[in-house]
Amino acid sequence: MSVEDGNIRRLTAETEPTLVTPVQRGGFGHSRPRILVASDCPSTEALKQDMRRHGFDAWSAPRGRDVLESYQEYDLLLLDTNLPDLDGVSLCQAIRRESDLPIIGFTAADAEVDRVLLLEAGCDDCVEIPYRARELVARIKAVMRRTGTARRAEPAGQEDDAALEFGPLVIDTPRREARLGGRAISLTRKEFDLLHKLAQEPERIFQRQELMSDVWDYPASHRISAQASRTIDTHVSSLRGKLGNSEWIITIRGVGFRFGVPVPEDDTAVSDTGTTGPTRPAGAGGDPLALRRPRLVRVRNANESGPSGSY
């Protein structure tokens, strides 16, 4: 695709733009809607820049498999039907089986069959190429209003105007930030949503189906798929790595996950033999529920300053 005076057309050059995933670009500290452009055309960069000028946070994926791995992090997908590894109709069908992500497809002006197939596959709208930038932006906003995505992308309301503190970990809800020991942690949108979901009810065990429904908008009536289950595992693993300790999120085998608090490294005790070592709760080697229970230190206004509490 190529942009010329606000228009876009298909090129034959086989230049592949670099995929930029949410993990690579850092955490989200703003409320601009995130758009993923699925295209391997050399003009993709120009399209992204155009979207950014209109207030969107736009990124790209050159292959269908890249889209399937990262689409959960975005608010809308712009789909080029001619990807090198997967056709647009098949890709749209695969996403629709797992998500209600808004999708707008690009089709040629004379490709009526393509438009019909995309719409039947679950595409929310189609735009003919070459397109007018103002029309594309208007269609994006209309689809986001219709699907409720625009409301989900807005900043958190006043009812969430609080920060959760668990010892060194502070989860700042309105700013959508997490800090560990006073240091900001770079989290993707879904990583923050998952962490915040678990921390809101630290004593509760969340089932995978519930997390997929609440965090990823997975249809509650659908049985969770293997791909959806891997999505949760990937995000949990990433969060554990960024938090520096796997005990911040406890796996309850065969059930789901719950929030946890690691035992401090300097938390030592004298054993029966007179040696010292880190204390572990009784039964920590067996029942995962016996691991140290999380205790909410305090809930405070996000604008409040001062040192974090201890635990």
Average pLDDT, consecutive stretches of 10 residues, N- to C-terminus, the chain (311 residues): 38 35 36 88 84 88 93 93 90 90 90 90 89 85 81 45 83 89 90 91 88 78 81 93 93 92 52 39 37 47 42 28
String of DSSP letters for 85-151: SSBHHHHHHHHHTT----EEEEEETT-HHHHHHHHHHT-SEEEEES--HHHHHHHHHHHHHHHTHHH
Q: Which CATH architecture does the domain made up of 158-300 adopt? A: Orthogonal Bundle (1.10)
pLDDT of residue 252: 92
User: How do residues 37-55 score in pLDDT, each as one tens digit?
Assistant: 999 888 888 888 888 888 8
Identify the helix (H) or strand (E) that includes residue 290. none
Backbone angles phi, psi at 289, to 5 degrees: -70, -15
CATH of span 2-152: 3.40.50.2300
User: How do residues 248-282 score in pLDDT, each as one tens digit?
Assistant: 999 999 889 999 877 555 443 333 333 334 434 33
Domain layout of the chain by residue ranges: 2-152, 158-300
**Taking Cα atoms as reference points, which of 50, 191, 210 lies closest to residue 133?**
50
